[in-house]
């Protein structure tokens, strides 16, 4: 299957709704049909496609670091770093270049191939870009792939990141357009799409995914996956996060999602974005080994690796190696 050729972006509204999606490469109805398949049929289809495009036993490892933590002015209902929620996350101003390079070296020594630098900003200021570009260049010199997630970008900023050697920019659509406003009010879907376009135009690979387990319907999960799959071209990297419920955030206490629904979402991402790296992202520490194994079977071929995400926990590296050993998976 080739990359979608239909440009999702329309003049008035760039986000897709049920009717508008009928003429797209992946109408929402078609993703919904995938999600509604008998589980075995869905996983079989996902694994069949996965094998056409990827080594089924190889998992890519990305390590995260929070280069600037907490105190964020945005109101994302899931996020422990939003200043307005009382979550116990301690604010940390920008890390020094030395600290970041030391962490990147350690990540490389432990086997990671990509290093992702995250900052709790609505978007970076020029001074921030100057500091982050130094970090990117230094991490790139170590022979790691570089990724950054700094919030919304203004025209010209993506080019500066690209020139410093940024390989990927992570910017998630997070959920379906129709429920976006229930979760975040300080920016809208179009803002996210605009930044994605800045990244694309600067020649940086796009890392874009979302969060499930926020109380959304299966139809909303179909809406998120359709939105991602209809980006033209679709993202090179697709992180699928399971909500990590953090006390103090509005989404704390949300009814838990059946883990098999999470696996179905991974499968739909794999089928609709065959060449993408689909990353089993946040929420992995709360998942059983069996569910993680099903995610790999459904086409996930990347993880966040290292005992911390940005502010919350992730499985210990040794635990991941033990799981890979059991499953006969190789990391890269
Ligand atoms: N501030 C920037 C932004 O929002 O784009 C970059 C950092 S932000 C923490 C990166 C992503 O982390 C969010 O888009 C969201 O998908 C994910 N995230 C944040 N809190 C989460 C949580 N509690 N559970 C799962 N994913 C989360
Ligand atoms: C992504 O999609 N997930 C990562 C990364 N991109 C930046 C972040 C997950 C954050 C989970 C909550 C926390 O640790 O603060
Ligand atoms: Fe800020 Fe990003 Fe957290 Fe939203 S997800 S509150 S923008 S750090």
Protein residue with its CA nearest to atom 19 in ligand 1: 79
CATH number, residue 234? 3.20.20.70
Parent domain of 101: 3-331
Mutual angle of helices 317-327 and 289-297, in 10-degree steps? 60
Sort 42 into a burial class: Cβ within 10 Å, 0-12 / 13-18 / 19+: buried
Protein residue with its CA nearest to atom 25 in ligand 1: 243
Say yes or no: CB of residue 320 within 6 Å of ligand 1. no
Say yes or no: CB of residue 68 within 6 Å of ligand 1. no
The pLDDT assigned to 24 comes to: 79
The pLDDT assigned to 6 comes to: 32
The pLDDT assigned to 9 comes to: 31
What is the length of the chain?
332
Say yes or no: CB of residue 244 within 6 Å of ligand 1. yes
Say yes or no: CB of residue 309 within 6 Å of ligand 3. no
Protein residue with its CA nearest to atom 6 in ligand 3: 82
Say yes or no: CB of residue 116 within 6 Å of ligand 1. no
Distance from residue 69's CA to the centre of ligand 3 (Å) = 10
Our count of domains for the chain comes to 1
* Nearest CA among 35, 56, 57 for reference residue 272: 35
- Residue 203 tokens read as 């020649």
- Residue 326 tokens read as 């059991």
Distance from residue 38's CA to the centre of ligand 2 (Å) = 31
CA dist 267 and 270 (Å) reads 5
Distance from residue 23's CA to the centre of ligand 1 (Å) = 31
CA dist 193 and 209 (Å) reads 12
Which among 199, 241, 247, 286 is the best mutation to test ligand 2's pocket, defined by most ligand atoms within 8 Å of the CB? 241
The pLDDT assigned to 2 comes to: 38
Say yes or no: CB of residue 118 within 6 Å of ligand 2. yes
Distance from residue 41's CA to the centre of ligand 2 (Å) = 31
Pairing of strands 168-170, 205-207: parallel
Active site residue 116: yes
Distance from residue 251's CA to the centre of ligand 1 (Å) = 13
Q: Which helix (H) or strand (E) holds 134?
A: helix 126-141
Say yes or no: CB of residue 118 within 6 Å of ligand 3. no
Protein residue with its CA nearest to atom 5 in ligand 1: 151
| Tens-binned pLDDT, residue by residue, of the chain (332 aa) | 334 333 333 323 457 766 666 677 999 999 999 999 999 999 999 999 999 999 999 999 999 999 999 999 999 999 999 999 999 999 999 999 999 999 999 999 999 999 999 999 999 999 999 999 999 999 999 999 999 999 999 999 999 999 999 999 999 999 999 999 999 999 999 999 999 999 999 999 999 999 999 999 999 999 999 999 999 999 999 999 999 999 999 999 999 999 999 999 999 999 999 999 999 999 999 999 999 999 999 999 999 999 999 999 999 999 999 999 999 999 99
The pLDDT assigned to 164 comes to: 98
Distance from residue 241's CA to the centre of ligand 2 (Å) = 8
Radius of gyration of the chain (CA): 19
Choosing from 45, 114, 147, 264, the catalytic residue is 147
Say yes or no: CB of residue 174 within 6 Å of ligand 3. no
Say yes or no: CB of residue 220 within 6 Å of ligand 1. no
CB distance 128 to 148 below 8 Å? no
Active site residue 295: no
């Amino acid at each position: 299957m080739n990359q979608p050729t239909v440009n999702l972006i329309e003049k008035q509204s760039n986000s897709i709704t049920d009717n508008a999606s009928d003429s797209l490469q992946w109408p929402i109805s078609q993703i919904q049909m995938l999600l509604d398949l008998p589980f075995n049929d869905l996983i079989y289809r996902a694994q069949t496609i996965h094998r056409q495009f990827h080594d089924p036993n190889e998992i890519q490892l990305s390590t995260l670091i929070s280069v600037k933590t907490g105190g964020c002015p945005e109101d994302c209902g899931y996020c422990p770093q939003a200043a307005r929620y009382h979550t116990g996350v301690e604010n940390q101003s920008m890390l020094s270049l030395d600290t970041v390079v030391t962490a990147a070296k350690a990540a490389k020594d432990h086997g990671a191939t990509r290093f992702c630098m995250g900052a709790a900003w609505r978007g970076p200021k020029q001074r921030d870009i100057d500091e982050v570009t130094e970090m990117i260049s230094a991490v790139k010199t170590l022979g790691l792939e570089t990724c950054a997630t700094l919030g919304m970008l203004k025209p010209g900023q993506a080019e500066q990141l690209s020139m410093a050697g940024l390989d990927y920019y992570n910017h998630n659509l997070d959920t379906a357009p129709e429920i976006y406003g229930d979760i975040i009010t300080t920016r809208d879907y179009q803002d996210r799409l605009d930044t994605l376009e800045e990244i694309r135009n600067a020649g940086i690979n796009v890392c874009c995914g979302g969060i499930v387990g926020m109380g959304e319907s299966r139809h909303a999960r179909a809406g998120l996956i359709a939105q991602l799959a209809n980006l033209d071209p679709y993202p090179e990297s697709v992180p699928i996060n399971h909500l990590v419920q953090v006390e103090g955030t509005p989404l704390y206490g949300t009814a838990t999602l059946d883990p098999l629904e999470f696996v179905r979402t991974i499968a739909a991402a794999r089928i609709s974005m065959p060449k993408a790296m689909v990353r089993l992202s946040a929420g992995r520490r709360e998942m059983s080994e069996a569910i993680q194994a099903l995610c790999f079977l459904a086409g996930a071929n990347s993880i966040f690796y290292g005992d911390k995400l940005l502010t919350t926990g992730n499985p210990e590296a040794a635990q991941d190696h033990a799981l890979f050993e059991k499953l006969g998976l190789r990391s890269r």
